[in-house]
Structure 1
Amino acid sequence: MQTRSPFEMCAPSPDPASPILPSMLSVKGHSHRCERIINMKEHALIGISPFNPQFSPSYVSALLAWAESNFKKIDILIPDVESAALLLTSTGTSAQKAIRKARKELNRQRRVIEPLIDKDSPATAQLIEFSDHFENTAYKKLRKMAQNEYDEHEEFRTACDAMSDCAIASRVRATTTPSTSPLPKPRGVATENYILTEIPFYLNTPVILDVRSSTLIYHRKWPIGDQLFNNRFRIAIDRNQGHGIVSISNQKPKI
C-alpha cells in the first residue's frame, strides 16, 4: 500500500479570505453517534489552531455566532503558549524565538475572540487553554491513559506521530516547498506535548468541563478519529462526546 506523506494527508485549510457569514456554515458529525449528540445542541467546544490561516477574524466571528445560535453553551479551546511553541521548535525555530512568536500569535487570537464573547448570552463562552486543566483530576486521568497507550501500543503511537507530522507539515508548508522539504526529526517532543496534551478533550470533554454532552467543533476530521471510533485502541471516546466537522458553503454573502 502506498504511504501518503503528511503534506497529502493534511491538505491546506481552505483560504477564508472572502467575508464569511454564520449562515454559510454547516456541521456534519464524524459518526451517527456524533450526529445524535450534535442534535442535542447542549455544548460545543470550538477548537482554534495557531498559525493557521483558516482562523481569520471573519471566519472566527462567523463560527462563534453560528455556534451561539446552535448550541445552549459554547467554549473555545486554544493551546497554551508552551504547547503552541512546539509547532515552531519542531521546524527548527529556537526555543526562545518560538515562545515569543507563540505568545504573539495567541495574543492575536485572543484579541479577535474576546470581543466576540457575549457576556450576557445564555451560551456565554469561556476561552480555555490546554494548561487551564492540567490539574483537573479527570483531565490528568485521560492524559495518563493516552500517555500509557502511546508508550505501549505501536499502532496508537504511529497514529499520533502521523498527527504530529500533520501539525509540523502545516507549519513547514507556510514557508517552504513541501515536495522538497523533509520534516524535521525527531518529532516525539511535539507529539507528546501537543497531540497527547490535546487528546483528553477529544476523548471526553463532558467529564473535564462538567457538561452532560459536548461536540468538539473543527474544520476537518482528526486523522486518528476513525481508529478511535472503530475501537482500535484501549482508550475510547466517551459515549457523550461528539465531533463535528464545520464546512463553509459556496453561498455568497449578501451585501
Structure 2
Amino acid sequence: MTITTATFTFQPYSPHCHITWDEGDHVLIGVSPGNSYFNARRIAELTRWAAAHFTAVDFVYADLHVAEMFAALGHTDDHAARRAAKELKAVRRRILAGVEAAAPHGLTVHVRALSEFSGNPVYQLLHRRVQHFLATDEEFRKSCDAMVEHFLGARLPGGLPMTARQRSACLAYIAAELPFFLDTPGILDVPSSVSCYHHLMPLTELLYAKGGGLRAARNQAYAVVRPESVGRTADDDRRAA
C-alpha cells in the first residue's frame, strides 16, 4: 500500500510495517553525507511531514568510516580525512537549517551523528551481532555484498572492478548503520519506530523475512519515503504492501 501525504509518498515495506506507521510513535530519517538529495529544503519538508504524524523524530547522519571510504576510493589518507570532515560538517549544517526552517510546533526533533551512539549498549550489542552474522551467515553476507555493489557501483570510475579495500570499507560503513534498521526502539527507548530512506535497501527483504537469522525487531519498521512528484521504480514497488 502506498500512502500519499501533501508532499511525500510513503511506502511501508510490509503490512506489519504499515501497522507500525499507524502507531506513529517515532520516525528515524537516515541521512547520507555527500548526497545532494538531502538539501536544507528537503530536510525542512521531511521535518514537516514527520511532525504531522509522529510523536518523535530523529535525523541520524552517517559519520563513521566516511574517511576510510574516501581513502579506499583513491584519496590520500590526509585528503580523505579533510574531505570527510568537510562533508560531515556540511550535512549537519543542512539538517539543522532544514529543521529550524520547518520549526515544528511542540515537537522536539533530534539531529545526531551515528558516532554519538558508539557508547550505547544496545547499539554495541546489535553491531556485534551484525559482525557475527557477516562472518558466519552466508545469506546475510550475500545481501550485504548486494548493498556494497549498490552503494559503490556508481562511485567507481569507468566501470573499474571493486577492490578488496573498497569492499571492506563499504561493509564497515554499512555495518555501522545496520543497528538502526534492526532495533531503533531498543537503541532510542521508544515504543516503536519506522526507519525511512528514499530507496528500498537491498537487505530489507532478508531483515523482514520469517525464520531464523538476523531479523528486524517486531516493533521496527522500514519504509521508502520520497517526494510525491518522484515516480516509483520497480525496486520500490517490489514487496511494498
**What range describes the TM-score normalised by the shorter chain of this pair?**
0.7 to 0.9
How big is each residue's C-alpha offset from its partner over 1:107-158, in whole Å with a ceiling of 9 and x where there is no partner?
A: 1112111133357743311112121111111111111111111011122112
TM-score in terms of structure 1 length: 0.80
Over the matched positions of the two proteins, sequence identity in percent amounts to: 29
5+ residue gaps, structure 2: 231-241
Verify: 1:79 aligned to 2:79, yes or no.
no
Which residue of 2 is the match for residue 160 of structure 1? 144
Q: 1:34 to 1:213 in 2, by over 3 A?
A: same
AA of the residue aligned to 1:241: Q
| Alpha-carbon distance between aligned partners in 1 of 2:12 and 2:207, rounded to the nearest angstrom | 15
Residue 113 of structure 2, aligned match among 129, 135, 145: 129
Query: Which residues in structure 2 correspond to 1:51-90 (within 5 Å)?
Result: 51-80=34-63, 82-90=64-72
Equivalent residue pairs, number? 224
Letter in 2 for 1:145: R
Quote the residue 2:200 is aligned against.
221
Task: Name 2:122's counterpart in structure 1.
Answer: 138
Offset of 1:41 from its aligned partner?
A: 1.1
**Aligned with 2:50: secondary structure?**
helix
Could you report, residue by residue, the CA deviation over 1:75-133 in whole angstroms, capped at 9, with x for unpaired residues?
001112x4222332232222221121111111111211113335774331111212111
- Equivalence map 1:191-210=2 (5 Å): 191-210=170-189
Q: TM-score w.r.t. structure 2 length?
A: 0.85
- Aligned twin of 2:98: 116
2:12 matched to 1:41?
Answer: no
**Is contact 1:165-1:187 (8 Å) kept?**
no
Q: What CA deviation, in whole Å up to 9, does each residue of 1:196-219 have, x standing for no partner?
A: 111000000000000000000110
Structure 1: gaps of 5 or more residues? 1-21
The one-letter code sitting in structure 2 at the alignment partner of 1:185 is: A
Structure 1 stretch displaced more, 237-246 or 116-125: 116-125
What SS does structure 1 have at the residue aligned with 2:37?
A: coil
Deviation at 1:233, TM superposition (A): 5.5
Return the alpha-carbon distance in structure 2 between the equivalents of residues 128 and 225 of structure 1: 23
Aligned to 2:133: 149
Residue in structure 1 matched with residue 220 of structure 2 by the alignment? 241
Q: Which amino acid aligns with 2:123?
A: Y
1:182 positional shift? 2.7
